[in-house]
Structure 1
Amino acid sequence: MDFDAVLLLSFGGPEGPEQVRPFLENVTRGRNVPPERLDDVAEHYLHFGGVSPINGINRALITELRAELDMPVYFGNRNWEPYVEDTVTAMRDNGIRRAAVFTTSAWSGYSSCTQYIEDIARARRAAGAEAPELVKLRTYFDHPLFVEMFVGNIAAAAQTVPGDARLVFTAHSIPVAADERCGPNLYSSQVAYAARLVAAAAGYDDYDLAWQSRSGPPQVPWLQPDVADYLTGLAAAGTKAVIVCPIGFVADHIEVVWDLDNELRAQAEAAGMAFARVATPNADRRFARLAADLIGELRDGRSPARVSGPEAVPGCLASVDGAPCRPPHCAAAPQG
C-alpha cells in the first residue's frame, strides 16, 4: 500500500486567550457540561497565556516527520484550527490521492481511536467526491520506539530525585462505561500493558498505575484510583519521592503541564515528597521514526513491530494484525 502524503491528526488547542472558551465549547459540545466547569478549565489555559502547548509541539513533530518521511505532511485537528475538514479539502486540491493518518494517541477506545476515525469520515465528506483515501495507522502503545522513549525519559527523571523514588504511571481517566464501549476494558488494559512493558525495560519490578484529569458528575464511575488520592496514600505510607510518568500522553497537553506539573507537584511538595515528572515523547525524532515504521508496515507488508509482554496484546483486530484501522475493526462511521 503506497501513500503520497501523511496527515498528522490531533486534538487541537487554543493559541490565545480569546480562543480558550470557544475551544472548550467545541470539545464539550453535546455533553451538557455546566458553564462553571468550563470556567474552571479555562483558568488552566489562561495560566499559560491562553496557549495550549499541543499545536506548537505538533508543528515541531511535523518538521521531524518531513525529514524522516520525505513526503508532504499535513496537520489537522478535531477541535481547533487547523480543522481536519479544511486540511483534507486542501489535500484534495493539492492532488493527494492516499494519505496515512498518524494520530497523537497510542491507544484503542472511543475517544482515543474510534473518534479519530469519525473525524476522518467527516473530513472526507466535507471534501466531497474527490477526497483522498485516508488510512488510519494502527495503535502503537507497544511499539519498541514508544517503549524506548519512555524508558529513557524515566531514567532522566530518576536522576533528579532520591534513588528510592516510587514510579507512578498515569493516563487520562475516562468513565468506566466508556472503557467498555469498544471492548471490555480495552483502553485501560492497553495502558496497563504498556506500563508493564516500560517498567520492565526501565528496571522497575514494582510500580503503580493511577488515573488523572477526570471530570463530570461525581456519581458517574470513572477509572480509579485518582493520582492525587493515590499520592496522598503514598505520603501517608511514608514515601519520600515519586517519579510520575504520564504514559497515557504522547505530548505535553494542558492535563500534563497543569494537572501534573502544577497541581500534583504542589501536592507532593506540601507533603514533603520529592517529585519528578517524566517527559512525554513530544517532537522526539524517534516519534517521527515510529510513524515512519507504521507506514512501512503497510507499504511493505511487514509484521507489526512490537515489544512482547507476558500476556496477549489487548486490542481490537487492527491493533493485533496490523491492518489499517477502519471499520469493521472499530465501531465507527464508515470512511466515506
Structure 2
Amino acid sequence: MSDQHDPAPYDALLLLSFGGPEGPDDVVPFLENVTRGRGIPRERLKEVGQHYFLFGGVSPINGQNRALLDALRADFAAAGLALPVYWGNRNWAPYLTDTLREMVRDGRRRIAVLTTSAYASYSGCRQYRENLADALAALEAEGLPVPRVDKLRHYFNHPGFVEPMTEGVLASLAELDESVRTGAHLVFTTHSIPDSAADTSGPVADHGPGGAYVRQHLDVARTIADAVREKTGTDHPWKLVYQSRSGAPHVPWLEPDVCDHLAELRAAGAPAAVMVPIGFVSDHMEVLYDLDTEATAKAAELELPVRRSATVGADPRFAAAVRDLVLERAAAERGTRPERCALGALGPSHDLCPVGCCPARAERPAAAGADSPYA
C-alpha cells in the first residue's frame, strides 16, 4: 500500500454524532438523555419536544448520518482505503459505548474519530472527548481492551467542507428573483452558545471575546463571501448571526438572533437574504425548525424574500475531505509531515487538543487530548 492510501496506525474510523429520536415515543427519553443532570421536569421536556413532534417525532440527523456513512464507505472503497467505518451517538442509539464495545470485539485497537461538529467549543469538541473518556472507562470496568482514540482535527476550513457550502449559496442566490438578487444579503448562521463558553473556546491562546468559536465562523463566512464575489462579480453584504438559543434567559448568549437580524435587514431596506447555516454539517432539527420553519415564517411576515442554502450533508467532496483528514493524521502519527488543506486565514487546526482547550465548568476526564487519561 502506498503512503498516500495507508491508514496505519488506524484500523477503524468512528463517526461520532449527537443522536436524535426516531419516533414519537423516543422524543422525551431522548431529551432526558440530552438534559440529564439539569433537573428539567418531564412536562417541560414535552413542551420542548414539540419541535420534533411537528416532524412526526423523528429527527433527521440519524438518517443523515446513515447517508454520510454510506458516502464515506463508498469513497474509501473507491480510493482503495481499507478502513471500516462505525457510528456511535452521544444521546441516542447507536450509543457510543455500545459502538466502542462492538469495535473492540471486532479487534479494533487504534481508532480515528470524526465528530459531526466542525468548530471549537465545549459542546462541539470537549464534551465529545468527555463522552469518549466515559465510554472507555466503561469498557475498562468490563474488562475489555481499551482502544486508543484520536479525534480528527477541526475541519471548518477544509475545502471539502467550505466549497459545497459556497455552491449552495450560489444556487440559493440563483433562486431569488433577478430584481432582488444583486442586493441580497448573506446571513451566516450557527448555533448560539453562552458568551462564557465562546470566550474560552479553543486553546488558551485563543481565549478572549468570542474565542476560537466566533473567530473560526467569521473566517469561514468571509471565505464563502469572497468566493461568491469572485463567482458572481457581486459583493453581497454579510453578517454572522446565531440561532437555536436555549438555557436561562439571564445568561448572556451569542447574538444577534437570526430572526432579529432579518427584521433589522428589512427595516434597513434589504431586498432579500440567503441564510447560510455554516455551523451545521447536515439539515438536522436546528436547521429544519429554526431556519426552515421559524426564520422562514419571520421572513414571510416581514415580506422579505429569503432562501436557505444547503449544508454539506453527504456531499462526496465532504466524504473525500474526511478521507483526507484520516490519511493526514495517520501520516502525522507515523512521523511524517503531511500537507494539510485549509482555506481562509486561520490555517489548519491542531491535531491534539492542548490542556485548557474549551474547558468545562466542572473538571471531567476527556480522551483524545493532551490531558487524556488514555494515552
TM normalised by structure 1 equals: 0.92
Alignment match of 2:139 (pick from 113, 119, 127): 127
Alignment match of 1:101 (pick from 113, 127, 130): 113
SS of equivalent residue, structure 2 residue 51: helix
Determine if the alignment matches structure 1 residue 176 to structure 2 residue 191.
Answer: no
Alignment match of 1:276 (pick from 289, 304, 307): 307
Shift of 1:31: 2.7
Determine if the alignment matches structure 1 residue 138 to structure 2 residue 138.
Answer: no
Q: Which runs of 5+ in 2 are unaligned?
A: 1-7, 78-82, 202-206, 230-234, 333-337, 360-364, 367-371
SS of equivalent residue, structure 2 residue 175: coil
Q: What amino acid maps onto 2:127 in structure 1?
A: Q
Alignment match of 1:259 (pick from 258, 279, 290): 290
Question: Which residues in structure 2 correspond to 1:181-196 (within 5 Å)?
Answer: 181-182=200-201, 183-184=207-208, 185-196=211-222
Shift of 1:240: 2.6
Determine if the alignment matches structure 1 residue 306 to structure 2 residue 306.
Answer: no
Moved more, 58-67 or 30-39: 30-39
How many correspondences in the alignment?
A: 328
> Aligned partners of 1:12 and 1:262: how far apart in 2?
21
Q: Which runs of 5+ in 1 are unaligned?
A: 314-318
Does structure 2 conserve the Cα–Cα contact (< 8 Å) formed by 1:13 and 1:55?
Answer: yes
> Aligned partners of 1:330 and 1:232: how far apart in 2?
33
Report what 1:2 is aligned to.
9
Q: What amino acid maps onto 1:171 in structure 2?
A: T
Shift of 1:327: 5.3
Determine if the alignment matches structure 1 residue 161 to structure 2 residue 176.
Answer: yes
Identity of aligned residues (%): 48
Return structure 1 stretches of 4+ with deviation > 4 angstroms. 34-37, 325-332
Shift of 1:335: 4.8
SS of equivalent residue, structure 1 residue 29: coil
Q: What amino acid maps onto 1:18 in structure 2?
A: D
> Aligned partners of 2:344 and 2:305: how far apart in 1?
33
Q: What amino acid maps onto 2:62 in structure 1?
A: N
> Aligned partners of 2:56 and 2:69: how far apart in 1?
24
Does structure 1 conserve the Cα–Cα contact (< 8 Å) formed by 2:197 and 2:358?
Answer: no
SS of equivalent residue, structure 2 residue 125: helix
> Aligned partners of 2:356 and 2:150: how far apart in 1?
14
Label 1:32 to 1:174 Cα distance change in 2 as closer, same or farther (>3 A). Answer: farther
> Aligned partners of 2:355 and 2:15: how far apart in 1?
20
SS of equivalent residue, structure 2 residue 92: coil
Does structure 2 conserve the Cα–Cα contact (< 8 Å) formed by 1:281 and 1:287?
Answer: yes
SS of equivalent residue, structure 2 residue 306: strand
Shift of 1:30: 1.9
1:82-123 CA distances to partner (integer Å, 9 max, x unpaired)? 000000000000001111101100011100011111111111
Report what 2:335 is aligned to.
none
Report what 1:152 is aligned to.
167
Does structure 1 conserve the Cα–Cα contact (< 8 Å) formed by 2:188 and 2:240?
Answer: yes
1:249-308 CA distances to partner (integer Å, 9 max, x unpaired)? 011121100011011111111111111001111111111111101011112231321113
Label 1:261 to 1:335 Cα distance change in 2 as closer, same or farther (>3 A). Answer: farther
Q: What amino acid maps onto 2:351 in structure 1?
A: A
Does structure 2 conserve the Cα–Cα contact (< 8 Å) formed by 1:240 and 1:272?
Answer: no
Shift of 1:33: 3.9
Shift of 1:154: 0.6
Report what 1:197 is aligned to.
223
**Structure having the higher Rg:** 2
Does structure 2 conserve the Cα–Cα contact (< 8 Å) formed by 1:117 and 1:335?
Answer: no
Q: CA RMSD in A?
A: 1.8
Report what 1:39 is aligned to.
46
Shift of 1:46: 0.5
Report what 1:316 is aligned to.
none
Determine if the alignment matches structure 1 residue 216 to structure 2 residue 244.
Answer: no
Q: What amino acid maps onto 1:222 in structure 2?
A: W
